[in-house]
Amino acid sequence: MNHTRKFISDRVNAVPPSGIRKFFDMVIGMDDVISLGVGEPDFVTPWHIREACIYSLEKGFTSYTSNAGLLELREAVSDSFHRDYGVNYDPETQVLVTTGVSEAADLALRAVVNPGDEVIVHEPSYVSYKPGIVFSGGTPVIVSTIRENEFRLTGAQLEDAVTPKTKAIILSYPNNPTGAVMGKRDLEEVADVAVEHDLLVISDEVYDKLTYNGKHTCFSSLNGMDERTILLNGLSKSHAMTGLRVGYAMGSPDIISAMLLIHQYTMLCAPITSQMGAIEALNKGDSEMQAMVREYNRRRRLFVTGLNELGLDCFEPRGAFYAFPSVQSTGMTSSQFAEGLLNQQKVAVVPGDVFGESGAGFLRCSYASSLEELKTALERMEEFLG
Amino acid sequence: MNEILEIIEQDPKIDPAEIAKLIGQSETEVRSRIKELEDSGIIRKYKAVIDWDKVGEEYLYAIIELKISLGDRLGYDEIARRIANFNEVRSVRLISGDHDFSLTVRGRSMKDVAFFVAEKIATLDQVQSTVTHFVLKTYKEDGVTLFEKEKSKRLAITP
């Protein structure tokens, strides 16, 4: 059926399939695999949230909601960001509920990018940003963050990447796949460049709650940044709600209404069942969330210590649930290591270069797995390194 | 301190060396903290939750509610202590509502439990009346659900 290929648009053809796919196909059909390749919590959504979803179905909440999302949810979102970071977003005009953060990122790009506009993305980072920029007609400009700087983005790097065509910067901390975080000072460097060159910052902070031994700084809380920021967040990671698909975007009324325009003609609204669960999560989910965060933190310490003991150099990841060890000492490439480890010891990790060229020589290992699995994985890795 | 307790409550069998890794402290430090917690009675006991139904052991549990009339001699604490001393009694709680105490009692048979209540509990001077509820099935015990474990539904690799 190859003759149908000609119908595919150039824009889509220009985007290669995700390198993750190949690993996924390898793992399928293998028994007894311990997978550290999963980019989502191993916890099931807390029961009180699932119960709120079920209850909403029982009561017959199965219709569309307003395009921007249930007002009660937008109010809960606005309140939680005010409480956590002191930022102010009007639930009526500055908050948009989306079908996961992925949709919010897509809307943000499509709302602001003109053909030929450049958007700066730091890598290694989540796999969707670059294709998202291409789909919206823009040109991705990659800035590679490095291990020596704990995969933080610097003002100087940004400065080098800016051209007259630059429209926006995508910022994603705490970071998938590296587990890196950016402190207030680090973020201020980004803010300075944004002001200097009049750029917009799309800040995906979906891992904000998973910050260890320190406090997350919300980018739009920086002086003068609220106007310049499209803040993206959601409940997937903090409340283990990945499959329920609830995210939100916050920003200036102009930008949010531009995003809403696309959203209303494409997605219409986020699923109402999930929105009802999200209200419950935001209003009553703190203690279960904190228990999960404490648990991740313990696994993080155990796992990162374990990796370093194996000689796989790993800086201390202070966010998300990923460790990003280097395999340089083994003489193998990321893919050789990951394939060997999977075939010989049945432990699945993701080669770092899936997340950008600068991830070459590293592995993404998710520690969102039980302690038992993490310990077994470390033992098997030790065997593999023999 | 509380973090150590949270970890031990989840897994009493855990090795102090592992706790040390989990919370980022030295093993010596963790061991001495645990000793303090044991000595001060904060950690009362390391206990397993056992699904006896699965073993096929014939244990029968009953929840017994008691109404108490306080005399001038003994208060609730003293009465509770007398009741708690029986091996058959697994838990004793002072409760609000229609009754004063709620006990969990374990025996080998219905007769066993009924006789125990009739002979040892109902006969206490302060016990005005008792209501016995036999337990037919236990679904969750001490925060542990006793349903069959379900497999994780996550995909093996996701971005």
In this structure, are A251 and A190 located in the same domain?
yes
Contact, A139 vs A117, CB < 8 A?
Answer: yes
> Hey, of B2, B7, B11, B157, which one would you mutate to test binding to chain A, going by the most A CBs within 10 A of its CB?
B157
A→B interface, C-beta within 8 Å: 18, 20, 23-24, 27-28, 33, 35, 37-40, 42, 126-128, 176, 294, 298-299, 301-302, 305-306, 348, 350, 371
List of chain B residues whose C-beta atoms are within 8 Å of the C-beta of residue A39: 158-159
Rounded distance between C-alpha atoms, residue A322 and residue A278, angstroms: 25
pLDDT band at B146 (very low <50, low <70, confident <90, very high): confident
Q: How far is A38 from chain B (nearest CA, A)?
A: 5
- Full residue range of the structural domain in which residue A21 is found: 9-45+287-385
DSSP secondary structure, A110-147, as one string: HHHPPTT-EEEEEES--TTHHHHHHHTT-EEEEEE--G
Other Cβ atoms less than 10 A from the Cβ of A281: the count is 28
In this structure, are A34 and A71 located in the same domain?
no
pLDDT in the model for residue B74: 84
In this structure, are A278 and A300 located in the same domain?
no
Determine whether the interchain pair A305/B6 forms a contact, defined as Cβ–Cβ distance below 8 Å: no
Contact, A71 vs A90, CB < 8 A?
Answer: no
Write the CA distances from A352 to A176, A333, A360, A385, integer angstroms: 11, 10, 5, 18
pLDDT in the model for residue A267: 96
The CATH number that applies at residue A191 is 3.40.640.10
The CATH number that applies at residue A364 is 3.90.1150.10
pLDDT in the model for residue A1: 57
The single residue listed with the structure tokens 């790097």 is A157
pLDDT in the model for residue A197: 98
Terminal CA-CA length for chain B = 36
Write the CA distances from B119 to B23, B115, B129, integer angstroms: 50, 6, 13
In this structure, are A296 and A321 located in the same domain?
yes
In this structure, are A180 and A300 located in the same domain?
no
Query: Which tokens sit at A67?
Result: 């395009």
Domain end among A233, A256, A283? A283
In this structure, are A266 and A209 located in the same domain?
yes
Determine whether the interchain pair B7/A298 forms a contact, defined as Cβ–Cβ distance below 8 Å: yes
Q: Is residue A40 part of a domain?
A: yes
Q: Is residue A94 part of a domain?
A: yes
Determine whether the interchain pair B155/A42 forms a contact, defined as Cβ–Cβ distance below 8 Å: no
In this structure, are A236 and A364 located in the same domain?
no
Domain end among A265, A283, A301? A283
Name A266's Cβ contacts closer than 8 Å, sequence gap at least 6: none
Determine whether the interchain pair A18/B159 forms a contact, defined as Cβ–Cβ distance below 8 Å: yes
- Beta strand ranges found along B19-139 (DSSP E): 60-68, 89-94, 101-107, 127-134
| Local confidence pLDDT in tens for the 386 residues of chain A | 578 989 999 999 989 888 888 888 888 888 889 999 999 999 999 999 999 999 999 999 999 999 999 999 999 999 999 999 999 999 999 999 999 999 999 999 999 999 999 999 999 999 999 999 999 999 999 999 999 999 999 999 999 999 999 999 999 999 999 999 999 999 999 999 999 999 999 999 999 999 998 999 999 999 999 999 999 999 999 999 999 999 999 999 999 999 999 999 999 999 999 999 999 999 999 999 999 999 999 999 999 999 999 999 999 999 999 999 999 999 999 999 999 999 999 999 999 999 999 999 999 999 999 999 999 999 999 999 98
* DSSP state at residue A3: G
Contact, B4 vs B33, CB < 8 A?
Answer: yes
Count of A–B CB contacts within 8 Å? 54
Give the containing element (helix H, strand E) for A96.
Answer: strand A95-98
* DSSP state at residue B126: T
Burial class of residue A207, CB neighbours in 10 A (0-12, 13-18, 19+):
buried
In this structure, are A134 and A179 located in the same domain?
yes
* Number of structural domains found in chain A: 2
Q: Is residue A26 part of a domain?
A: yes
Query: Which tokens sit at A207?
Result: 């891992």
Rounded distance between C-alpha atoms, residue A385 and residue A312, angstroms: 10
**Residue B1 touches chain A, beta carbons under 8 Å:** no
In this structure, are A151 and A13 located in the same domain?
no
In this structure, are A231 and A305 located in the same domain?
no
Q: By three-state DSSP, how is residue A205 classified?
A: coil
> Hey, of A47, A175, A245, A294, which one would you mutate to test binding to chain B, going by the most B CBs within 10 A of its CB?
A294
Nearest to B23 among A27, A298, A350 (CB): A298
Nearest to A121 by CA among A140, A145, A147: A140
Rounded distance between C-alpha atoms, residue B10 and residue B13, angstroms: 9
* DSSP state at residue B99: -
